[in-house]
Amino acid sequence: MTHQPLSWIPVLDLRQESLTSFALREAAVFYRAHQGRGHLLLGEPLPPGISYASWSCARPLPGQTWHSPVRSWAGLPVAASLEIAGDHAPEPARDCDLPSLLTQDAACRLTLYRIPGTEADAVIQAVSQIREDHPRAALWLDLPSMGWDAAAYLLAVIPALQLMNVPDRELSHLLDLAEILERPVQLHDFGGAAPLPVLPLPEYPPQMDNSWDMSSPPVYPGYL
Amino acid sequence: MTNAPLRYRAALLQTRPRPLEHLKVLRVNTTRNCWMQCRFCDFSRYAPLSGPRPVPPAVGRAALKSELGRGNRYDLIKIRGGLTFWEPWSYFLQLVRVLAEGSSAAVQAFSAVELMHFHRVEKKPLREMLEELRWAGATSLGPGGGELLVDSLREELAVHRIRSQEWVTVQRLAMEAGLQSRAMMMVFRGITRDLVQEHLLALGPLRDLSVIEIKPLRPQGTHMENAQPPHLLEMLAVVQAIQDLWPQVQIAVSADSVSPDALSILHQHGVSMAYFNAEEIGP
Q: Which residues of B141-168 are buried (b: 16+ CB within 10 A; e: fewer)?
A: bbbbbbbbbbeebbeebbbbbbebebbb
How far apart CA A136 and CA A82 sit, in angstroms, is 14
**Domain count along chain B:** 1
**Domain count along chain A:** 1
In a domain, B8, yes or no: no
The reply to whether A116 touches chain B by the CB within 8 Å rule is: no
Check which CATH number belongs to the domain holding B224 and give it. 3.20.20.70
pLDDT at residue A51, rounded to an integer: 87
In a domain, B6, yes or no: no
In a domain, A217, yes or no: no
In a domain, B235, yes or no: yes
In a domain, B226, yes or no: yes
**Average pLDDT value for chain A:** 85
> Which tens digits make up the pLDDT trace of A8-24?
999 999 999 888 999 99
In a domain, A216, yes or no: no
Which residue segment(s) compose the domain that B207 sits in? Answer: 21-49+59-281
**A193-207, B55-69, B96-110, range with the lowest pLDDT:** B55-69
Nearest by CB to A214, from B11, B52, B160: name it: B160
In a domain, A214, yes or no: no
Strand, helix or coil for residue B147: coil
Which is higher by pLDDT, A86 or A162? A162
How far apart CA B116 and CA B158 sit, in angstroms, is 15
In a domain, A169, yes or no: yes
Q: Which residues pair with B168 in a beta bridge?
A: none
In a domain, B246, yes or no: yes
**B227, B228, B230, B234: CA torsion to nearest 10:** -100
Q: Which residues of A touch B7 (CB under 8 A)?
A: 1, 180
Q: Which residues of B touch A221 (CB under 8 A)?
A: 48
pLDDT at residue B48, rounded to an integer: 61
The reply to whether B231 touches chain A by the CB within 8 Å rule is: yes
Return the closest-CA partner of residue B108 out of B191, B199, B23: B23
In a domain, A210, yes or no: no
Strand, helix or coil for residue B268: helix
Nearest by CB to B51, from A149, A208, A222: name it: A222
> Which tens digits make up the pLDDT trace of A106-149?
677 899 999 999 999 999 999 999 999 888 888 999 999 999 99
Return the closest-CA partner of residue A179 out of B90, B190, B277, B219: B190
In a domain, B2, yes or no: no
How far apart CA B235 and CA B164 sit, in angstroms, is 22
- The answer to whether the Cβ–Cβ distance between B51 and A158 falls below 8 Å is no
How far apart CA B144 and CA B182 sit, in angstroms, is 9
How far apart CA B264 and CA B268 sit, in angstroms, is 6
Q: Determine the average pLDDT of the residues in A58-66.
A: 84
Q: Which helix (H) or strand (E) holds A113?
A: strand A107-114
In a domain, A218, yes or no: no
- The answer to whether the Cβ–Cβ distance between B51 and A209 falls below 8 Å is no
Nearest by CB to A147, from B12, B261, B267: name it: B261
Helix axis angle, B260-268 relative to B232-245, nearest 10°? 30
Identify whether the C-beta of residue A114 lies closer than 8 Å to the C-beta of residue A143. no
In a domain, A82, yes or no: yes
How far apart CA B232 and CA A177 sit, in angstroms, is 9
Q: Determine the average pLDDT of the residues in A162-189.
A: 94
Query: pLDDT class for B187, splitting at 50, 70, 90?
Result: very high
In a domain, B227, yes or no: yes
Which residue segment(s) compose the domain that A159 sits in? Answer: 6-191
Strand, helix or coil for residue B46: strand
pLDDT at residue A224, rounded to an integer: 47
Backbone angles phi, psi at A5, to 5 degrees: -65, 150
Identify whether the C-beta of residue A37 lies closer than 8 Å to the C-beta of residue A193. yes
Nearest by CB to B10, from A157, A212, A221: name it: A157
Query: Percent of chain B at pLDDT above 90?
Result: 36
- ipTM score of the complex? 0.85
Q: Which residues of A touch B46 (CB under 8 A)?
A: 218
Residue A103's contacts (CB-CB under 8 Å, 6 or more residues apart) are none
What is the 3-state secondary structure of B182-228? EEEEEECCCCEHHHHHHHHHHCCCCCCCCEEEEEECCCCCCCCCCCC
In a domain, B261, yes or no: yes
The reply to whether B14 touches chain A by the CB within 8 Å rule is: no
